[in-house]
Amino acid sequence: MPIRFTKHALEKFSVLKSYGVSVSRTQIAQIIRTPEIIDCRRLPLYIAQGELDKRRVLRVVYKQKGATIVVITFCPGLKSHYEKDNT
């Protein structure tokens, strides 16, 4: 499935980099394709979560539009904050 990024999501790469957090399109695609957790409570939006590093997870908000996945945004978070989220 092709993955497209909104303007906001594309800008998020630079914003995170300015805070010293490096995220790649490949990492985002990997989390969408094989998430550790997926939250479907906000359909039609999905939140896929995967490991970013030892302390943090990366949460990716996306929707499916036909055969394309559209990444809306993504954000790192502390594992300790999300480890109890069993969605």
Q: What is the pLDDT of residue 80?
A: 85
Dist CA 87 CA 85 (whole Å): 6
CATH number of 3-82: 3.30.2310
C-alpha of 5 from chain center? 11
Mean pLDDT confidence for 22-44: 95
Listed in sequence order, the residues at least 6 apart from 63 whose beta carbon sits closer than 8 Å to its beta carbon are 44, 45, 46, 69, 70, 72
Q: Where are the domains of the chain?
A: 3-82
Tokens in use for 42? 């906000």
- Is the pLDDT score of 31 beyond 70? yes
Dist CA 44 CA 71 (whole Å): 12
- Is the pLDDT score of 57 beyond 80? yes
Confidence of residue 83 (pLDDT cuts 50, 70, 90): confident
